[in-house]
A and B are shown apart, each in its own frame.
Chain A
Amino acid sequence: MEEIVLGIGITALAGALATIAGAAEDTESDIGSQGDPNSQVQLAPQMGYIHRIFNKAISGEPPAYAAWCAIGAGVAWAFLQIGYNPALAIILGSIVAVFVQGIYCISGYLGRTASLAKFEQPVYIDIIKSLLSVTMAHAFIAIFCTVTVCYLMATVLHAQPFALPILGLLWGLALGAAGSATGNPFYGKERQYQNQNFGAGVPISASGNIVRYAEAGERSSLDNGWFTTKFAGPASGICFGLIVFLELWRTVLFETSLGGWGAIVAGIVLILIFAVINLWVEKWGRETYGPYTSEEASS
């Protein structure tokens, strides 16, 4: 019984940490412009729209975060092996990982922007100076929280077999997948194409014409981070938090029930509940917004 209570406590803590990690991950990727919407940041100068948006998408978020979290977890694991305090080991591991992320950001921005030279897109050094520390800070939070989740799994949940670095790789990839899936549409459609109609997709003919000006002066990627933390960041956090929490919850609580089938049955029930909620959301959207009408018909 005590083990289950401890397991539930660890599950709750891991879920909370994963929520923070997801929110920080999405905000970092929006400030750094790493997800799929970055295709428009790369496309804009080619269509004649010069901008001051950060541009560092060498790889997608999932493999990038898999690498950073695996580095963080691997270094932390090495420090743990020589007797370091776990908190210090995780912080040191996350710092090393975040320096790798910083190098990746600089090379990503310089490389991608330099490739746009023939479209007269300048490389702005002040963008690197002002935004690098911000993306690194958000990445540190995301990596630190994820590595801590992995540490909790590796040390307290004895039944799971993987060592800390492999858990870092697994959950880093899941973190990037959840964050990019949930957060990208909000950054792409709602922020980059803020000048397009709300409640409709961006017409393909508008591709590349991203919003480049703010209330005063040119739009910076910091503005994008400010905007996406209103929805995309928290939504990504809830997504990753739910994944981690429910995966642990169903196993910790139901693993031994129903002859070993309890966790499977619990998972299927959860999937069905989510499917029903999704069905309601889709129906609500159709009934509330209604079909699109032409301008003549609606006037």
Chain B
Amino acid sequence: MSALGGKAAGGEGINWQGVAVGIVIIIIALGITFAFGSEGLVIPLLGIIIGGALIGFGVHFVPVGGAPAAMGQAPGIATGVAMLAAGAGLAGLFGGAWAFSATGDFLTAVLGGAVGGGMMMAITCLMVNLTYVFAMGVPAASGKVDKDPITGYSFPEYKSQGTEGHGLPFISYVGGVVGGFIAGLGGTLIYIELLLVYSAGLPVLLEASAEAVAPLAVSLAGILAIGFFLINAVLSAYNITGTIEGPHDPKFKRVPRAIIGCAVASAFCGLISILIIVAF
């Protein structure tokens, strides 16, 4: 119950009315795209929608403790959900874009982006634990589960008095790496889809050669991919409402809502991004 006596908002359930509206928006976006450019533009939009949903899914794995974690009052990484996930995903985007530019191979590029995001999180999570253990003398303890599902370590006796736990238990570490991996995958997928659309569409629109517009296509795809990243990461952060410990946190059950929300937002924003080359 909320402070005003009404029904509590932000639970685990799904609002089916909202889902129906979201699906209609996705269908309309796909329909408009098809009307402008047949299936040649629908498939990239589908890729963008999947990429957005992947970012939303990935963000929920990242253990983020925010301000309480900075005081050792709660487990997780002591920064914001959206920003940490975006940092990991964008580091992945750099690797993925580099791989695509060098090899032109779709699969190695998206996986290269995913590994880049996972590696950024692996290093960051390790440094966080080094800080907690060696500089603060605090062992890792989850506040949401009594035992680590992977290592089997028990937590209640390792939680200091008056806190909800601290540090990064191994399950949260794995969550962080998986989250960075999935977010990097989604971001690179969006970048490649946008790049393919712009590489094909901009020469026609600007009446110039493909080589001449290549820098513009790369820059436009890159900056919009960053934008997509932030949109989906922030939407997911709203779904998480504050902090999350990783896949073992009860808040993780809210993930279907984020996937639907991010897919809808990506569909609409993807439509606008694609209209740049067909509507002018």
> Interface residues, chain A, CB within 8 Å of chain B?
35-37, 39-40, 60-63, 157, 159-163, 166-167, 169-171, 173-174, 176-178, 180-190, 192-193, 197-207, 231-232, 235-236, 238-239, 242-243, 246-247, 250-251, 255, 260-261, 263-264, 267-268, 270-271, 274-275, 277-279, 281-282, 284-286, 289, 291-292
In the bound complex, do residue B119 and residue A286 qualify as a contact, i.e. CB atoms below 8 Å apart? no
What residue of chain B has the Cβ atom nearest to residue A239's Cβ?
A: B127
Of the candidates B83, B84, B158, B161, the one having the most CB atoms from chain A within 10 angstroms of its own CB is B83
Binary CB contact string for chain B from 144 to 187 against chain A (1 if under 8 A, 0 otherwise): 00000001010001111111111111100110010000000000
In the bound complex, do residue B71 and residue A207 qualify as a contact, i.e. CB atoms below 8 Å apart? yes
A161-B98, A204-B68, A260-B99 given; 20 more Cβ-contact pairs under 8 Å: A36-B67, A37-B70, A39-B67, A62-B79, A160-B94, A173-B83, A174-B90, A180-B83, A189-B136, A190-B135, A200-B163, A207-B73, A235-B131, A246-B123, A263-B115, A264-B112, A267-B112, A278-B173, A282-B173, A285-B132
Specify which chain B residues have a CB less than 8 angstroms from the CB of A236 in the assembled complex. 127
In the bound complex, do residue B108 and residue A261 qualify as a contact, i.e. CB atoms below 8 Å apart? yes
| Pick from A184, A247, A277: contact of B119, CB under 8 Å | A247
Specify which chain A residues have a CB less than 8 angstroms from the CB of B173 in the assembled complex. 275, 278, 282
Specify which chain B residues have a CB less than 8 angstroms from the CB of A203 in the assembled complex. 73, 160-163
> How far, in whole Å, are A40 and B167 apart by their CA atoms in the complex?
19
What residue of chain B has the Cβ atom nearest to residue A293's Cβ?
A: B157
In the bound complex, do residue A181 and residue B77 qualify as a contact, i.e. CB atoms below 8 Å apart? yes
Specify which chain B residues have a CB less than 8 angstroms from the CB of A285 in the assembled complex. 129, 132-133, 138-140, 167
> How far, in whole Å, are A174 and B88 apart by their CA atoms in the complex?
7
Question: B44 within 8 Å of A by Cβ?
Answer: no
B residues 100-151 touching A (CB-CB < 8 Å):
100-103, 105, 108, 111-112, 115-116, 118-120, 122-140, 151
> How far, in whole Å, are A178 and B126 apart by their CA atoms in the complex?
11
In the bound complex, do residue B162 and residue A264 qualify as a contact, i.e. CB atoms below 8 Å apart? no
> How far, in whole Å, are A281 and B166 apart by their CA atoms in the complex?
14
Expressed in whole angstroms, the minimum distance between the Cβ of A206 and any Cβ of chain B is 8
What residue of chain B has the Cβ atom nearest to residue A59's Cβ?
A: B83
Specify which chain A residues have a CB less than 8 angstroms from the CB of B140 in the assembled complex. 282, 285-286
In the bound complex, do residue B80 and residue A274 qualify as a contact, i.e. CB atoms below 8 Å apart? no
| Pick from B98, B115, B135, B219: contact of A159, CB under 8 Å | B98
What residue of chain A has the Cβ atom nearest to residue B118's Cβ?
A: A271
> Chain A binding site: helix, strand, loop or mixed by DSSP?
helix
Specify which chain B residues have a CB less than 8 angstroms from the CB of A174 in the assembled complex. 87-88, 90-91, 120
> How far, in whole Å, are A232 and B130 apart by their CA atoms in the complex?
11
What residue of chain A has the Cβ atom nearest to residue B69's Cβ?
A: A185
Question: B215 within 8 Å of A by Cβ?
Answer: yes
Specify which chain B residues have a CB less than 8 angstroms from the CB of A204 in the assembled complex. 68, 73, 162-164
3 A-B pairs with least C-beta separation = A177-B87, A203-B162, A201-B72
B residues 189-247 touching A (CB-CB < 8 Å):
215, 218-219, 222-223, 226
| Pick from B160, B163, B177, B215: contact of A163, CB under 8 Å | B215
In the bound complex, do residue A184 and residue B91 qualify as a contact, i.e. CB atoms below 8 Å apart? no
| Pick from B66, B70, B94: contact of A187, CB under 8 Å | B70
Q: A199-B137, A203-B163, A264-B111 are in contact. Are A278 and B87 (CB under 8 A)?
A: no
> How far, in whole Å, are A235 and B128 apart by their CA atoms in the complex?
9
What residue of chain B has the Cβ atom nearest to residue A179's Cβ?
A: B79
In the bound complex, do residue B162 and residue A279 qualify as a contact, i.e. CB atoms below 8 Å apart? no
Expressed in whole angstroms, the minimum distance between the Cβ of A288 and any Cβ of chain B is 8
Question: B86 within 8 Å of A by Cβ?
Answer: yes
